[in-house]
């Protein structure tokens, strides 16, 4: 099915058909099914496709229902067996896809496609670039796609606000030998609307310093929807200079549209002992939009 000429909308329907070693020389090259026309629609129901290297290529619209694709022992030739190059134009409902080669089922640069209830196995049996996948036992996987709208209920429990938390920032910073970021405030969230933000943090001493060495404080800053600037001390200065417990907790703030939520570390002091030991500490934090 080739491109060229006027783009006439043509629909093809195949039911209980076999496409076995039908492409190229019948052994190693060519596509068993090749839709190169952007407006053509190819529909296969209860069909059987057996090809060594190239099962299907689609530049138009293609729907597969309860089809069996098998062999694929030469999938490593191109690195894949199916090449879909139209966004939201390729769907799979049920069927089996047995890949016997070293490549993947889908071209890694394939565009969005939806797979529901298909059985996929064999060497290299992964769906690298399928946007939405529901496997035969109902597990859902989203690979790089987008769910629009708010998830209002999960597992019988209503959600709130943003629907589900989404992480805005995360960092693990071991072996700090001074104030975090040199004492300059670090942005951990930027809001575009009034937002409820949860900040989680952990701070602890990794190596003691000399006498009077001080573990720095950690301060959270933000502006609320009424325009009031706030600061909250999360970790106070600590001069005990002993490796003990971890200081960790969380803080929920309501930040106004267009504000920056920041963390600031101040007060670090290290007096190296006679052996030249400098105080070292670790900071970890994450911020989430609720």
Q: Which residue has the tokens 């060229």?
A: 4
Note whether residue 193 is domain-resident.
yes
What Å distances lie between residue 108 and 61, 163, 283, CA to CA? 19, 31, 37
> Which of 142, 175, 210 is the last residue before a domain boundary?
142
> Which of 126, 142, 158 is the last residue before a domain boundary?
142
**Helix, coil or strand: residue 13:** strand
Claim to verify: residue 118 and residue 207 sit in the same structural domain: no
Residue 93, H or E segment: strand 90-93
Note whether residue 227 is domain-resident.
yes
Q: Are 105 and 125 in contact (CB under 8 A)?
A: yes
CA 263/CA 251 separation, integer angstroms: 12
Per-residue confidence (pLDDT) for residue 5, from 0 to 100: 47
Q: Report phi then psi at 183, rounded to 5.
A: 90, 0
Claim to verify: residue 22 and residue 128 sit in the same structural domain: yes
Q: Are 97 and 105 in contact (CB under 8 A)?
A: yes
Claim to verify: residue 109 and residue 217 sit in the same structural domain: no
Note whether residue 222 is domain-resident.
yes
Note whether residue 245 is domain-resident.
yes
Note whether residue 150 is domain-resident.
no
Beta strands 157-158; 48-51: pairing state: unpaired
Q: Which of 12, 1, 61, 56 has its CA nearest to residue 33?
A: 56
Q: Which of 186, 252, 187 has its CA nearest to residue 224?
A: 252
Q: Which residue has the tokens 């200079």?
A: 241
* CATH number of the domain enclosing 213: 2.60.120
- What are the tokens at 74? 């030469």
Claim to verify: residue 122 and residue 174 sit in the same structural domain: no
CA 181/CA 195 separation, integer angstroms: 25
The mean pLDDT value for 222-229 works out to 94
Claim to verify: residue 64 and residue 170 sit in the same structural domain: no
Span 271-286, pLDDT tens digits:
876 566 889 999 999 9
DSSP 8-state code for residue 211: T
Claim to verify: residue 87 and residue 206 sit in the same structural domain: no
Note whether residue 201 is domain-resident.
yes
pTM beyond cutoff 0.75: no
Claim to verify: residue 129 and residue 171 sit in the same structural domain: no
Claim to verify: residue 107 and residue 182 sit in the same structural domain: no
Claim to verify: residue 179 and residue 131 sit in the same structural domain: no
Angle at the Cα of 259 from the Cα atoms of 254 and 261, rounded to 5 degrees: 70
Number of domains in the chain: 2
Q: Are 111 and 80 in contact (CB under 8 A)?
A: no
Claim to verify: residue 109 and residue 178 sit in the same structural domain: no
CA 27/CA 74 separation, integer angstroms: 10
* Structural domain that includes position 132: 11-142
> Which of 97, 126, 142 is the last residue before a domain boundary?
142
Q: Are 188 and 199 in contact (CB under 8 A)?
A: yes
CA 133/CA 140 separation, integer angstroms: 6
Span 247-272, pLDDT tens digits:
889 999 999 998 899 999 999 999 87
The percentage of residues in the chain with a pLDDT greater than 70, rounded to a whole number, is 82
- What are the tokens at 56? 């299907």
Note whether residue 161 is domain-resident.
no
Mean pLDDT of the chain: 84
The mean pLDDT value for 219-246 works out to 91
Q: What is the dihedral of CA 102, 104, 107, 110, to 10 degrees?
A: -170
Note whether residue 131 is domain-resident.
yes
Claim to verify: residue 268 and residue 176 sit in the same structural domain: yes
pLDDT higher than 60, residue 26: no
Span 110-162, pLDDT tens digits:
777 788 888 887 544 556 545 556 655 556 655 555 666 777 777 777 776 76
- 7 compared with 218, residue with greater pLDDT: 218
Burial (CB count <10 Å: 0-12, 13-18, 19+), residue 247: middle
Claim to verify: residue 175 and residue 277 sit in the same structural domain: yes
């Amino acid at each position: 099915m080739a491109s060229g000429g006027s783009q006439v909308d043509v629909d093809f329907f195949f039911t209980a058909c076999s496409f076995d070693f039908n492409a190229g020389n019948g052994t190693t090259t060519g596509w068993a099914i090749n839709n190169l026309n952007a407006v053509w629609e190819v529909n296969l129901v209860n069909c059987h496709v057996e090809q060594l290297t190239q099962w299907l290529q689609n530049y138009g619209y293609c729907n597969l229902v309860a089809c069996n694709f098998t062999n694929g022992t030469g999938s490593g030739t191109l690195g894949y067996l199916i090449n879909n190059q139209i966004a939201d134009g390729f769907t799979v409902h049920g069927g089996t896809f047995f890949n016997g080669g070293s490549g993947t089922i889908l071209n890694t640069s394939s565009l969005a496609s939806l797979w529901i209830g298909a059985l996929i196995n064999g060497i290299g049996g992964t769906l690298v670039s399928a946007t939405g996948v529901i496997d035969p036992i109902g597990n859902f996987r989203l690979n790089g796609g987008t769910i629009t709208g708010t998830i209002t209920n999960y597992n019988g429990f209503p959600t709130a606000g943003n629907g589900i938390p989404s992480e805005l920032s995360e960092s693990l910073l071991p072996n700090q030998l001074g104030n975090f970021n040199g004492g300059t405030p670090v942005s951990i969230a930027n809001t575009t609307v009034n937002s409820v933000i949860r900040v989680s943090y952990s701070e602890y001493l990794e190596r003691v310093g000399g006498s009077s060495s001080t573990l720095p404080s950690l301060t959270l800053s933000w502006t609320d929807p009424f325009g009031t600037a706030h600061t909250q001390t999360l970790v106070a200065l600590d001069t005990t200079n002993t490796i003990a417990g971890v200081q960790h907790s969380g803080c929920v703030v309501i930040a106004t549209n267009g504000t920056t939520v920041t963390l600031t570390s101040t007060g670090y002091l290290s007096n190296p002992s006679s052996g030249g030991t400098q105080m070292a500490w670790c900071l970890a934090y994450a911020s989430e939009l609720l």
